[in-house]
Structure 1
């Protein structure tokens, strides 16, 4: 499978993610309460940003957890897709939160609200330290660069900026009493949240719609197989999608009848694994040209199936 992590690496990932999630969640609630008590919208916006971090950390945690669970007859890929679904729901929730904060910020330009600068400053500084602690937890001793851990660390990085924004707003309010700085900075933090949410929405929707991973060009993959394996004449019916972090591929290959059928199949699998990091591929080998008019379109029709002269092979070398 695509998950060739050592168990100790996975456990340390899980512990670091769980600790960072706990820290972020606690301070998210602290910022919500502090924002409400001090009347600061910038703190509430930063809490919204911390929610993106908490959700990213939770999804990373779930991904590590679900990767350990064995697939069964009902869920043949296990529950890896759940994290993608969680990301999608999270992205929509963030867009709603951002819209509410922007609406409130615009309202406050017309009706400035008093903000308690001292309380706001205290909470914002505590939030900054919470983010630094989360960032350290995610980077400390990470021998294995897990994609989810990296994504979570990037979220926390962005959140550091939100906390700095809240500190700046608090200091300006304490020194000058100029209240509009609070909604101004809440709008800036909202832009950070919007960016994260939009990227998350786009990626999760792409995966839910069975889109091919952006790292693999399927046309290039088909050309590479034809060019690099002498017996391969034609590659068609290429379907590539992603479940969790695992790419899954099915394809038809028209080949010159080989001396050793299984050895050729192994070579194709080895090539896909080595050059495209695809460990889960189903290769159907055919000796005759594919007769269906839809062979290059990647669509299957009954007429095409009737004309196939094939030797179907399903192998998953791990």
Structure 2
């Protein structure tokens, strides 16, 4: 029994509702993607297609990022009850997503440089076999996207008996309740975005190869390689922003924060401090300090928040009412 449990506390397991399922599906996609990646890179070098190489190297980043995502799921599950993680391991997936975004951006730069080199120094392209390999790559991307597609299921929190800690100055109440909100698993989203981006570059590669074969536009293949690099970079930047905001504890839902304040202040009480941040997919934590309109317990204010979805860990500090 750890110290928190000895004091009547609770665990801090804030994993997504489909954590284990997402891990299994991600590992399947890692295997499929790795095999296709090898075929596209080899095919690109053998047939002289920069667009196919761009697609293959892009897919290699996805294979690596998907592997990181799968390992992040495993790590988060293994250390879910580790007291060293103050608010659990629910944000490990966001860290993995941020890391994969950085790698994706670096690969985009390499593809752009290689494509520019091919524009200056063109090479012979064997269009028909290159097109065949690119079509196979697209098919794999679509299958992977289907496997990683997040269904419409709700994420569910968990309930614990509330407890309060009283001292001379304030009361604390930590509270869990069911979360039926549509909390997103950013780790799974990162994996899904990777395969969608790869599907888009596959389409670009096929388009460039077909047009090049029909009109003998050899320059179009490296030009599309540059376009693919730009697309990859844009996905990387967006993914970095989304996961980075979670890692630095920005307010995940301003509307939820406003609703919390409204409910707590409805009787004239005054919220002096409100912190809201995400601790895992579908799980938000909050620390609130308020001055009550009349003497009240944290339990009374907790009940006001019970109808709000997405709150999995709430600490309320009720400051003493000053004598008039």
With normalisation by structure 2, the TM-score equals 0.74
Paired residues in the alignment total: 280
Query: How far 1:24 sits from its partner (Å)?
Result: 1.6
RMSD between superposed Cα atoms in Å: 3.0
Which structure ranks higher in relative contact order (CA pairs < 8 Å, sequence separation ≥ 6)? 2
Are 2:222 and 1:183 equivalent residues in the alignment?
A: yes
Supply the distance in 1 between the matched residues of 2:94 and 2:255 (Cα, whole angstroms).
Answer: 22
Between 1:168-177 and 1:119-128, the stretch displaced more is 168-177
Are 2:132 and 1:122 equivalent residues in the alignment?
A: yes
Deviations 1:284-314 (A, max 9, x none): 111337xxxxxxxxxxxxxxxxxxx9xxxxx
Q: How does 1:1-318 map to 2 (within 5 A)?
A: 2-3=14-15, 5=17, 9-55=18-64, 57-58=66-67, 60-62=69-71, 64-69=73-78, 70-139=80-149, 143=153, 147=185, 148-213=187-252, 215-217=253-255, 220-221=258-259, 223-228=261-266, 230=267, 233-245=269-281, 246-258=283-295, 261-270=297-306, 274-288=307-321
Contact 2:69 2:97 in 1 (8 A): no
Deviations 1:37-68 (A, max 9, x none): 22222122212432454355445434543453
Query: How far 1:173 sits from its partner (Å)?
Result: 3.1
Query: How far 1:109 sits from its partner (Å)?
Result: 2.0
Q: For 2:202, what is the secondary structure of its paired residue?
A: helix
Contact 1:98 1:190 in 2 (8 A): yes
Greater helix proportion: 1
Query: How far 1:139 sits from its partner (Å)?
Result: 3.9
Supply the distance in 1 between the matched residues of 2:321 and 2:152 (Cα, whole angstroms).
Answer: 50
Query: How far 1:227 sits from its partner (Å)?
Result: 4.2
Supply the distance in 2 between the matched residues of 1:17 and 1:212 (Cα, whole angstroms).
Answer: 28
**Structure 2 spans left out of the alignment, 5+ residues:** 1-12, 155-181
With normalisation by structure 1, the TM-score equals 0.76
Stretches of 4+ moved more than 6 A in 1? none
